[in-house]
Amino acid sequence: MAISLASLRSSSSLTPPRLLTYGVAGVGKTLFATSAPRPVVIQTEDGLGLIEAPTFGVLRSFDAVMEALASLYSEPHDFQTVVVDSLDWLEPLIWQHTALQHNQPNIEAFGYGKGYLAALDTWRSVLDGLNALRDERSMGIIMIAHTEIRRFDSPETEPYDRYQPKLHARASALVQEHVDAVLFANYRVTTLKSDVGFNKKVVRGISGGDRLLHTAERPAFLAKNRFGLPETLPLSWPDFAAHIPFYANANATPAARS
């Protein structure tokens, strides 16, 4: 297709967001995601519990995941958000498919690190499918991941531990590049020092029960956003959506008025 000035468009045009939401167990990641407008869930784990949402059922192969994405792309429907729950349960399916495509028994058989590098092409197939739903079917994308604590080797300080998505490092970096926001969900935690005698103090973490969504990176966790969000929000879809132009602008799409 020839490029001409007629193809120019505003970079600020309202498009659905692509989100990676990760957080500690039980904090409410899936409830947050399925509170988005008209969701449909690509399930790779049985994590919906009592949450009612349309789903293809638990998909146990990479091909089944791609078939679900293809059906959302090609068939008539009124879904407005696709939720992938979860990426870290999808990852073994990607490894299995990658190994099969390269006639290897498993992802480790490629040799040191080579299998995980080859798996990035399979990851790109998933991300391309999600981007097609966003760009051509105007669907918001929410990918959910669990969390792990991993050492971060900072070039500026001594190494320290922080929360990260529970994915292979290469895959995590690729997904982060493709999304508009990486959101970390956690409980509000405070610390309390107690004197136990003999000049010793014990520090205990205390949760107030509040569930928070962090949108900017801190030493304790990964996060980012392209929307100018407040650094911390309640873990609530209405509170989050109020800051996203696609949803907040009443003239954007029917999804914004749902």
Q: What angle do the packed helices 169-178 and 87-101 form, to 10 degrees? A: 110
In a domain, 243, yes or no: yes
Q: 195 Cβ partners below 8 Å, 6+ apart?
A: 201
Strands 224-225 and 181-197: what pairing?
A: antiparallel
- Residue 196 pLDDT > 50, yes or no? no
- Residue 138 pLDDT > 90, yes or no? yes
In a domain, 3, yes or no: no
Q: Which of 86-95, 183-192, 203-212, 244-253 is most confident?
A: 86-95
**Which of 1 and 167 is assigned the larger pLDDT?**
167
Query: What pLDDT sits at residue 153?
Result: 84
- Residue 213 pLDDT > 80, yes or no? yes
In a domain, 109, yes or no: yes
Where in the sequence is the domain holding 187, given as residue range(s)? 16-257
Domain count, the chain: 1
> What digits encode the pLDDT tens for the residues 162-185?
999 999 999 999 999 999 999 999
Give, in degrees to the nearest 5, the angle at Cα 225 between 222 and 229: 115
List the CATH number of the domain containing 159.
Answer: 3.40.50
> What digits encode the pLDDT tens for the residues 46-82?
988 889 999 999 999 999 999 999 999 999 999 999 9
Q: 76 Cβ partners below 8 Å, 6+ apart?
A: none
In a domain, 9, yes or no: no
In a domain, 79, yes or no: yes
Q: What is the pTM of this model?
A: 0.87
- Residue 131 pLDDT > 90, yes or no? yes
In a domain, 104, yes or no: yes
Average pLDDT, the chain: 89
Beta strands in the chain, from DSSP E residues, in sequence order: 18-23, 39-43, 55-58, 81-85, 140-152, 160-165, 181-197, 200-214, 224-225, 232-234
Cα–Cα distance for residue pair 149/160, rounded to 1 Å: 10
- Residue 161 pLDDT > 60, yes or no? yes
Query: What pLDDT sits at residue 249?
Result: 76
Mean pLDDT of 147-163: 89
Cα–Cα distance for residue pair 127/133, rounded to 1 Å: 10
In a domain, 231, yes or no: yes
Cα–Cα distance for residue pair 223/214, rounded to 1 Å: 7
In a domain, 37, yes or no: yes
Mean pLDDT of 186-203: 59
> What digits encode the pLDDT tens for the residues 3-50?
888 777 665 558 999 999 999 999 999 999 999 999 999 999 998 888
Cα–Cα distance for residue pair 176/160, rounded to 1 Å: 21
